[in-house]
Amino acid sequence: MASVNVERTDDGFVARNARGAEVKMGSGDEQGAFTPVELLLAAVGGCNIVTVEPLTAQRGHRLVRLAMTVAAEKVEPTLLGPVTVTYEVELPEGDPKADEVFRAVAHRVHERHCTVSRSLEKGTQVIVELPD
């Protein structure tokens, strides 16, 4: 099970995991803080990239550069439209199969392995529990 704690602090909001990592959050006006929508996009990108990179490297094709931009526009005030993941890749010189392997792995990760993307596409239910 995945779990984070999110709370208001004296200078904004913070999300923490059990391993001690923290991410500052805000409404978009605060310096050094992510908005919740930006964190959702980061989760999509992070889930994909942390899966694609080792799988590509395990197949003997370590990419020189692997990055991505993840973007979405609001189609309603409280609803995002499609999320677009755009990879930025620099292939190793002298490795003619690297592009083919990268593309196959990236497609497979998106279709079968990225929990975040798959959950968004399937429409995971969100349950809110309020105190008694």
Q: CA 67, 72, 73, 74 torsion: positive or negative? A: negative
pLDDT digits (tens, 9 = 90+) for 21-31: 999 999 998 89
Token duo for residue 119: 């959950």
pLDDT digits (tens, 9 = 90+) for 93-129: 999 999 999 999 999 999 999 999 999 999 999 999 9
**Residues written for the chain:** 132
